[in-house]
Structure 1
Amino acid sequence: MKIKKLPDEFEKARPVMQTIEKAGYEAYFVGGSVRDTIIGEPIHDVDIASSAYPEEIKKLFKNTIDTGIEHGTVMVLDNNVGYEITTFRTESGYQDYRRPDKVTFVRSLEEDLKRRDFTINALAMRENGEVTDLFGGIDDLNHNIIRAVGDPNERFNEDALRMMRAVRFASKLDFNIEDDTFNAIKRHSKLLEKIAIERIYVEFIKMMKGLKPRQGLLDIINTNMYLYIPYFNHHHDDILSISNLKNLDLTSEVSIWSLICFAFKYNRLQIGEFLKAWKSSNEVINDTKICCSAIYKIYSKTINDISIYNTGKSLLIIANHIASLYGFDLNENDLINEYDNLPIKNKKELSINGGILIKNDILKPGPKLGEILNVIEKKVVNGRLENDTNELINFTKQYLKE
C-alpha cells in the first residue's frame, strides 16, 4: 500500500528521514500517526523508528537532544521542530507489567514491530508513503478490529495497560475487540492492579470521549476489568446503567466524572474520596461536586437563582446535558437566559467589598466581614438588594444594628 497524499506533518519530516536513508539506514514513520492517516483521521505526534543506533543518529544531525537515549530515543531538531527517532529494539523482562527491564537495539524492522500492542499500531511507512504491514493491520482497519500483535497473553503480561488501551481504541474508533484478544484481557484482567491509576485514568477518559463509550463500559464489565479499577467493583449495575444511556457524548473530564458520580449516587464527601482515589486534580474534583449538586437540583426541581449562580454557566450546561441523558433536563435556553439575567455572575462584581466597608469605618477585618458579604451576595443574586454601593452600605449598617 502506498499513500499518495501525505499530511503536512509527514511532509515536513521527510528531509530528516531522507538524511537517515542516504546514510544507509532504514527509517519509518510508525504508530498511531500511520494508522490515523490510513483511516483519514487527523494526526498529532509523528514518531520515527530507524535501524540507526542513537550514536549513529547523533552523527547525522547537528542539533540533537538525548530525550530517552537509554531506550534508543534521540530528538532531532530540524527547522525548529523536534522529531523523536527511536532505534529498532526488542524488549524483555517486564517485571512490573508495564516497562521492560531490558532493551536491546536491533537492525530489524520486523523485530521492532513484533513488540507493538495491536496490529493497527504495528504499521510502518517510509517517507515516500509506502506502508509496511507485517501483521495484517490494514486488514484489521478495514474490518474494524482490535487485535493484539502475536500472542495476546504475552502482550498483556508485558504491559497490562494494553488491556485498557484495547478498550479505549475500540471505543475511540468504534471497532470490535477480536475474540482471542478479548478473552486474554478477561484472563489477565487482575493484572490491572499492577498499573498506576494515573495511567488508567488517561485511557479511561479517552475511552469515554470516543465514538462508542457505551461499548467501552460494557467491555470493561465483560472482561472483569471493572473489578480492579478503584471503586468500580461495587458498582456493576450502575456502570451497566450508564452503558444503556443513549447519545452518550461527553467531551470533558468533568462531564464524565459528573455522570459517573451521579450514577453511583455519590454525595459531596463520596465524590471527593472517589476522585482522590483516581488522582484527579483539585479543580476537577471541585467542579464535579458543583456539577453533581446542580444535577440533583434539576432532578428535584429545586434549582433557583442562587444555585444557578453557584454553578456557573459552563457547569450548568454540563449538568443539564447529563440530566437530558436521563430525561429530566430543563430547557437549555431558559437556563442560560436565567443565568445571563443574574444581577452578578461572581462576588467580584458586587459594588461593595471588604475594603470599602473597612475604609468607611463600618467594619473591621474579621469573620463578621465575610459573613456580611456572603449575606449581601445572596440578596443581590436573589434580587432582594440592588447592586448599588450606597444601598449596600446602608443595608450593612442596618444589618449590624439588628
Structure 2
Amino acid sequence: MMRERDERLWNAGLHVVGELVNDGHEAYLVGGCVRDRMLGRPLHDIDITTSALPEQVMKLFSRTIPTGLQHGTVTVLEGGLVFEVTTFRQEFGYSDARRPDEVAFVLDVREDLARRDFTFNAMAVGLDHEVIDPFGGRNDLQARIVRCVGHANERFSEDALRILRAIRFGAELGFELAAEVWEGITLQRQRLSQVAMERVGTEWDKMMSGANPELAYHWLQQSGLLAHLKEQLPQQLVDYQMSDRAITHKITSIVDVDLRWAALLTSAGLSVEQSLQFGRSLRFSSRRGQRIASVVGFSQMLQFDANHERCTFAREHWIDAVLAYGISTAEDWHKIYRTETSTEYEWLASIPITVVSQLAIKGNELSKQLNKPPGPWIAQILQHLLAEVAHGRLANERDALLRIASTWD
C-alpha cells in the first residue's frame, strides 16, 4: 500500500512537471523526493523546480497558492495533492543566519542545485527519468555519507539551521558525517543562537522521533551545539553523556516521541520545573510539555534511577506517585520502563480509586454534614480520604468517609 502511494505521488509530480514542460519551460522533481526514492524510503512530499516564473506557474494551473512569491515558490494543487513549485534561483546574503537577503531567478537548473545544502538533496529528475547530479549525490548515498554542496563551512554560515539538518539526516539515515561537515558544524555552532527556538525544536523533535535519537543526541552534545542555542538549556542536559548510560538502549524501542523525551530528561536528571521550561524553550504545546514533565516527576517521586534501572520504591510510594500524577502518567511510565507483567502494573490495577471524584462523598456533603462553611479545608480532607482509600486503609463508603472526616483537625 505504501509503495502504491509513493508511485502515485511520484507520477503525479511528473504530471505537473509535464504540464510545465508542455508550456515551454524546464521542470524537474528535486530534493528530498529524489533522495528518498533512491533510498527506497517513503515519499512525504514532492518539490518541483522550474524555469517558469511564479506568475507563469499560477497562470498555467487552475488551483494555486502564492506561498512565497518573493522566493519564487507557488503551491500547486493537482488531483487532490499538493506540490511546491519553485523557480530556478540563486540566493545571496544571509544576515540573519537563516534566510537569504536576496533571491535572483536563473535559467539553469544546475545553478539552482548549487544553492542547496547537501549533495543528496541537490539532485533532480525530469520527464526522461535522467538524474541531474552535478555534486555527486548518488555516490554519497551509496557511500552513506553526509556531505555539503561546496564548502560545509560556507553552507552552514549561510543558514545555521543546516547544522541541525546535517545531524538529523546523518542519524536518521545511519550515515557518517564527512570530516569537513563535522568541522563546519563546530566552527559555525555559535550561529545557532540566531535561529528561532521553534525551528530548533522542530528539528530536534524530528531527531527524537527518528530512527536513531541516541546518535543524534550524541552528536548534538559532542559538538557543543546545545550550549549555543538562543535560549539556555539546563546544564545537566548540555553536559549529559547519553552514550555512557543504560537508557540509550531503551529510547529507540519507545514508540511515542513524548515518552522518548521523558526518558532522556529523566536520565539527564532534570527536575519537573526544568522539564517544563525545556518544553517551553523548544515551543512544545503546553499539553506535550506537561505530559513529558509529569513522567519526569513520576520517576522522581519513586526515586527511580533510570540510568542504572534500579527500582528503589515500595508499593506505597507507587500509589503516592499515581495519586500525584494520575493513571495516564503511570501508564506512560510503564511504556518506558516496564512491561505489563511487572509488579508495578499489578499495583496499578489494584488501586481502588485514583481521583477525588471517585470518592463516595462530595465536598458539599462534607460541608453540610460537618456544619462548616466551604473552604480550602474541603480539598484537603478529600485528598486525605483519597489517599486512605487508595492505600487500602479505608473503605470507599460514605459513612466510613464521614467518620474519618469528622475527626479531621
User: Which deviates more from structure 2 when the two are superposed, residues 290-299 or residues 150-159?
Assistant: 290-299
Is contact 2:146-2:177 (8 Å) kept?
A: yes
| Residue of structure 1 equivalent to 2:297 | 293
Structure 2 Cα separation of the partners of residues 110 and 5 of structure 1: 29
Question: Which of 399, 402, 406 is the equivalent residue of 1:400?
Answer: 406
Is contact 1:295-1:320 (8 Å) kept?
A: no
Structure 1 unpaired stretches of 5+: 324-328
Q: Secondary structure at the match of 2:85?
A: strand
Structure 2 Cα separation of the partners of residues 184 and 84 of structure 1: 30
Structure 1 Cα separation of the partners of residues 28 and 399 of structure 2: 71
Structure 2 Cα separation of the partners of residues 60 and 24 of structure 1: 11
Structure 2 Cα separation of the partners of residues 22 and 56 of structure 1: 13
Question: Which of 216, 230, 233 is the equivalent residue of 1:231?
Answer: 233
Work out the percentage of aligned pairs sharing the same amino acid: 32
**Structure 1 residue 117, shift from structure 2 partner:** 0.8
**Structure 1 residue 213, shift from structure 2 partner:** 2.7
Q: CA-atom RMSD, angstroms?
A: 3.1
| Residue of structure 1 equivalent to 2:251 | 248
**Structure 1 residue 80, shift from structure 2 partner:** 3.5
Matched, 1:266 2:270: yes
Distance 1:179 1:241, change over 3 A: closer
Letter in 2 for 1:248: I
Structure 2 Cα separation of the partners of residues 371 and 54 of structure 1: 65
Matches within 5 A, 1:97-136: 97-127=97-127, 129-136=129-136
| Residue of structure 2 equivalent to 1:319 | 333
Q: Per-residue CA shift, 1:283-319, capped at 9, x if unaligned?
A: 2332233212332314432442232354455543543
Structure 2 unpaired stretches of 5+: 306-311
Structure 2 Cα separation of the partners of residues 243 and 235 of structure 1: 13
Distance 1:360 1:103, change over 3 A: farther
Question: Which of 318, 321, 324 is the equivalent residue of 1:307?
Answer: 321
Is contact 1:213-1:243 (8 Å) kept?
A: no
**Structure 1 residue 359, shift from structure 2 partner:** 8.7
User: Which deviates more from structure 2 when the two are superposed, residues 59-68 or residues 237-246?
Assistant: 237-246
**Structure 1 residue 364, shift from structure 2 partner:** 5.4
Aligned length: 392
Structure 2 Cα separation of the partners of residues 289 and 150 of structure 1: 42
Matched, 1:377 2:386: yes
Q: Per-residue CA shift, 1:149-181, capped at 9, x if unaligned?
A: 111111101101111111111111111111111
Q: Secondary structure at the match of 1:7?
A: helix
Q: Secondary structure at the match of 2:249?
A: coil
User: Which deviates more from structure 2 when the two are superposed, residues 340-349 or residues 21-30?
Assistant: 340-349
Q: Per-residue CA shift, 1:170-206, capped at 9, x if unaligned?
A: 1111111111111111111111111112211222222
**Structure 1 residue 242, shift from structure 2 partner:** 5.5
Is contact 1:117-1:148 (8 Å) kept?
A: yes
Q: Secondary structure at the match of 2:113?
A: helix
Matched, 1:276 2:284: no
User: Which deviates more from structure 2 when the two are superposed, residues 69-78 or residues 371-380?
Assistant: 371-380
Letter in 1 for 2:269: K
Structure 2 Cα separation of the partners of residues 234 and 333 of structure 1: 30
Structure 2 Cα separation of the partners of residues 243 and 176 of structure 1: 22
**Structure 1 residue 40, shift from structure 2 partner:** 1.4
Distance 1:157 1:383, change over 3 A: same
Is contact 1:6-1:129 (8 Å) kept?
A: no
User: Which deviates more from structure 2 when the two are superposed, residues 224-233 or residues 350-359?
Assistant: 350-359
Distance 1:242 1:52, change over 3 A: farther
Q: Secondary structure at the match of 1:266?
A: coil
Distance 1:158 1:251, change over 3 A: farther
Matched, 1:172 2:184: no
Structure 2 Cα separation of the partners of residues 401 and 248 of structure 1: 49
TM-score by length of 1: 0.85
Q: Secondary structure at the match of 2:220?
A: helix
Distance 1:378 1:92, change over 3 A: same
| Residue of structure 2 equivalent to 1:326 | none
Structure 2 Cα separation of the partners of residues 398 and 340 of structure 1: 26
Structure 2 Cα separation of the partners of residues 350 and 11 of structure 1: 60
**Structure 1 residue 101, shift from structure 2 partner:** 0.8
